[in-house]
Structure 1
Amino acid sequence: MRKPGTKKGAVVGSGGQRRKGLEGKGPTPKAHERPNHKAYRKPLSPQAKQRNDTKRRDTGPTSELVAGRNPVLECLRAEVPATALYVAIGIDADDRVTAAVQLAADRGLSVLEVSRPELDRLTNNATHQGISLQIPPFEYSHPDDLLDIAKESGEDALLVALDGVTDPRNLGAVIRSAAAFGAHGVVVPQRRSASITAVAWRTSAGTAARMPVAVATNLTRTLKDWADTGLMVVGLDADSSITVDELELATGPIVVVVGSEGRGLSRLVRERCDETVSIPMAAGVESLNASVAAGVVLAEIARRRRVAGRI
């Protein structure tokens, strides 16, 4: 309609044609959720971190994707459990890709062709080189299960506990040594510790499939519970005056505690140990890698048990 007494045209209006454009966009996001807000770049408070950690734990375990031709081939050769192999459409196949596809087919894995944009999305834009392997989440045991496994074996328990080892390669190497020298299981703390990732799987050379790995909510309390059942707790400490050559506790039920390379054993864990031992080394060498130190001690324990006829 024209307005009376004017030559202007009809009054402009949407006429209900853009009703969706009039709807609100919902509540304004919080400051720390907006990338352009200064609060977004500030570290979260402890309470916010706890809420975020809770949300992440609620999502449950998720699968992991190993990206890259060499890592994928190494995982398949190590018989790392996998569910699917993703190959980019039109990939320039070389010997590694051919071998990976053949190994996956021999194991009955699903070999799926996907577009490169889709593979970018699945691997979170990692350098995948046109191939990726999907690994299911690792199934951890309970610390009490390790004691049951040792009891069923008919041998004196030999367990390994890791205190502050955050490198998954070290975790994988310790698992491999534990399997080689007759340990019944490995336990890691729930926080500030490496977990069983594809890297740990690959370093363990597949032994993680048969070596039980448990998660302790509180490592100190778990060690106390094990001590109450009769296990002796022995920690590795470079400053200890007792060497592994003098480890008389090796032939009985024992749990070997390995600390991190940097700080070693934590104070509470050290106080829980019945004895600490060191590894004698040549002058000029300060310490060993955590996984190497664990292998040396486990080898000595296995030797003493063979001599004593306990294994």
Structure 2
Amino acid sequence: MATKKFKCNVCGYIHEGAAAPEKCPVCGVPASEFTLLKKKGLFSDTNSNAYIIMYSTVMVVVVAILLAVAALSLQQRQYENVLGEKKQSILMSLSAQDQNYDEFIDAYVIDAEGNRIEGEDVFALLNDLKGAFAAGKYPVFEAKDGRVVLPVYGVGLWGPIWGYVALQKDMNTIAGVVISHSGETPGLGAEIATPKHWAQYVGKTIFEGDQLVSVKLRKGGAQNPAHEVDAISGGTKTSDGVTNMLFDSFSYYLPLLEAKKAAAAQPAAAEEVSNDENVENNE
């Protein structure tokens, strides 16, 4: 038979045995004054280190599970919000915020030769535009009216800078831009993300004849009205970053731009020949 422990309620004497003694050998009280001591489990003492560690571990696991469930439930909504912001920025570069993106824009991806790549998720590439460019995958957003929006990516003073440049149907004249950043200095380099700065690009051209020259942010003020805008005052490094971003990004799309420029020139040439023929026939 297992040994039990009984404690005298008067003097605290501990007796081990199958039952309490008839009387306490120390203070002489009867067996009725003894209490059976129950064995304590590992976590029965709420003040013990084991209990505190176990309780803390359980609480951490429970909180982690709740946070994971909350993150998963919000993931789709967060994705939709980010996607909506990107679509809105693309439309904003075209000054077409009143348009329905899905009806107005044809999004696709091209390779280094300007050929379409099928089966690519355009917006997934936008999430890592630097990686997409390095892999030779270039997202394009073509509006129904013939204008094209090109995403651009570069590095400013403190981190990545990116945006969207809309080109007119001539693939040369800038229709609008939207530029953003991750950490440029407020009041200085961060001014690249303001409508006031964006407005300077409208009407600028990125080609000089057949040569890509892009648009430059010039310190001290633009001197070439066709290809330059004012640099950010006090933000020289950020301005240089934007200049490099535009030229490098446009270079990736050069085959597409040249092909579209050539295609646009063909109808004009055909129309000119047709007019000449009409003149000859009339004569």
TM over 0.5: no
Normalising by structure 1, report the TM-score.
0.24
Determine which structure has greater relative contact order: mean sequence separation of CA pairs < 8 Å that are 6+ residues apart, divided by chain length.
Answer: 1
- Greater strand percent: which structure? 2
Larger Cα-atom Rg? 2
Normalising by structure 2, report the TM-score.
0.26
